[in-house]
Chains A and B, each alone.
Chain A
Amino acid sequence: MDAIQYISKRLLLMIPILFGISVLTFFISHTIPGDPARLILGPKADPVIIKELQEKMGLNDPVYVQYGRYVSGILQGDLGNSTYTQQAVVNDLKRYFPATLELTLFSMIITVLVGIPFGIISANKKDKIPDQITRFAALIGVAMPAFWLGIILLLFFYLQLGVLPGAGRLDTWVSPPAHITGMYTIDALLTGNWPVFQSAFIHLILPGITQAAVTIGMITRMTRSSMLEVLRSDYVRTAYAKGGSQNRVLYGHALQNGMMPILTLIGMTFGHSLGGSVLVESVFSWPGLGKYAVNAITYLDFPAVMGVTLLIAVLFIFVNLIIDIFYQVIDPRLKYE
């Protein structure tokens, strides 16, 4: 089987998963609450108005009819209206998504730049002091509540030292760059707007580090164990025996092969970061999907919560799909299965 065939097969396999996701979100949004109309209108709503909305939403129809309507709505980009912002949920998602994507990408960059080198050092110095320190730090990173780390960083760098900004994506006196991607740092760079880039960048630092702390722990541990496995192998011993320098063997031979499982984990941590955005964004008032979802929870705005859930689930499976495909394509040892 060649790459094209493999990719199309994988895409076909997505269909049952997407179907399953839609059934699950339908179940959560239509069955669990008992009465979605009451949920949308809130506990104090007039029974007459509830009845009207039930009628309008077709809640008296059989379940499969309701499900059909739900899915055809999604396929046409209709996720209902947010009861809090009074906008179509789809439009809200479009507006808040770039901020989340920017933060997630930034934290993934930090994760890779910090986590992989420390994992390599740790494996190479197995059981020595650097390894012990790295492993302990990774352990703390995984066990730490990210939202708490965010608060502590705010306390220290914003309130105590005053060196980094506390909330939002830009300083109040800076206006956002022209909309291209919606990610302020990238848009500012594309339009050559240096002051806006600076402001956007320093606002990313604390939430980015907060978001990355957990995933750094995960990637470091994975890199370490993956590298340990590779370093034991025959070809690494051969490379050393041929007089290869440590750096050449580590980065030229071992890392290439040790990268495979790490790549899969990067996909998983991407999902973890998206999920964590709910917590981190609300600490830093970062106006992305997570903050939007938390606001929605506060105002019992259920269509908005479900919109975020659905979008994040779909993003998550597509990222993992891309990583899977990439994995197959770059590793010639794997036969397309």
Chain B
Amino acid sequence: MVRRIFSSPLTLIGFILVFILLFLAAFAPLIATYNPLEVNFSNKLQPPSSAHIFGTDEVGRDIFSRIVYGSRISLKVGLLVVVISFPVGTMLGAIAGYFGGLVDQIIMRLTDIFLSFPGIILAMSIAAALGPSIENVLLALAVVWWPWYTRIVRSSVLSIKNAEFIESSRALGAHPFRILFKDILPNSIAPASIQASLDLGFVILAAAGLSFIGLGAQPPSPEWGAMLSSSREILREAWWAATFPGLAILFTVLGFNLLGDGLRDVLDPKQR
């Protein structure tokens, strides 16, 4: 299976991009050449050079080192949001699909309501109500994200709940929750997991956007969206301050997307 995943060059690129991200986050102190928060006014707005490969910002901080440390923030947000919203959404979707009836109605109407907001807008208002900080953005995104998993899991549960092996469990008198968690869930979780791997990228993108508008990480945090936001002030003098954090976001999202697409082709060939 591993060979099948990497037979596509795009998937391989995705894997490499994600690997680089993980590597940067894990070994940030060893890779970064400067302290990401260290201000050095005599060295401000330096263009990329051998000393500062991505240049320096308006207070002389090394942009490369900031991006390296920023990978930790982005990865943390992406993982935690998915780790919170995936089990919640999956559970609700499985219950709705398996038990049907009133429970199904209530759960699905609830997801309809959450999905009737453009995600970023709902996350924006929740984060604004909680107060600006990266933890609150994380929470807001988790609140916005779970209904997608609920929908996906519900439909896969519906498609297998009358399969013969489920019938036989039922005939043997297994408890409904046992059937749900031992038989149905493991066999219907693949599409939602693929979605989760794609979502890692989109969550990171959304979190960067919320930080960009001032809701998430606050200065001087080396969060990529916040870095982009402050780069606007010095756009005329320092193109590098805007360019590199954006590329970091782009490659990260692209990496998770390519990897997710590759997984889908292997695990769920029908979707293509």
Contact = CB atoms under 8 A, between A and B. Distances in A.
A278 to B, nearest CB: 6
A308 interface: yes
A148 B132 CA distance: 21
Contacts of B179: none
Interface stretch (B43-51, B123-131, B157-165): B123-131
Interface centre among A25, A143, A298 (most CB of B within 10 A): A143
Nearest to A274: B118
A136 to B, nearest CB: 8
A218 to B, nearest CB: 12
Nearest to A158: B235
> Which of B116, B236, B249 counts the most A-chain CB atoms under 10 A from its CB?
B116
A120 to B, nearest CB: 19
Interface in B39-95: none
Contacts of B191: none
Interface string A279-306: 1001100000000011001100010011
Contacts of B110: 20
Contacts of A159: 235-236
B228 A32 contact: no
A313 B126 CA distance: 14
B239 A155 contact: yes
B42 to A, nearest CB: 26
Interface residues of B, number: 44
Nearest to A43: B131
Contacts of A276: 120
B129 A302 contact: yes
A152 B254 contact: no
Contacts of A140: 250, 254
Given A24-B114, A139-B258, A147 B209 contact: yes
A279 B212 contact: yes
A228 to B, nearest CB: 9
Nearest to B116: A317
Nearest to B125: A309
A290 to B, nearest CB: 9
Nearest to A293: B124
Contacts of B205: 143, 145
A309 B122 contact: yes
Interface string B160-180: 000000000000000000000
Contacts of B120: 275-276, 278-279
A159 B242 CA distance: 13
Interface of A: 16-17, 20-21, 23-25, 28-29, 32-33, 39, 139-140, 142-145, 147-149, 151-152, 154-155, 159, 271-272, 274-276, 278-279, 282-283, 293-294, 297-298, 302, 305-306, 308-309, 312-313, 316-317
Interface of B: 109-110, 112-114, 116-122, 124-126, 128-130, 132, 201, 205, 208-209, 212-215, 225, 228, 231-232, 235-236, 239, 242-243, 245-246, 249-250, 253-254, 257-258
5 contacts: A147-B225, A148-B246, A155-B242, A297-B128, A309-B117
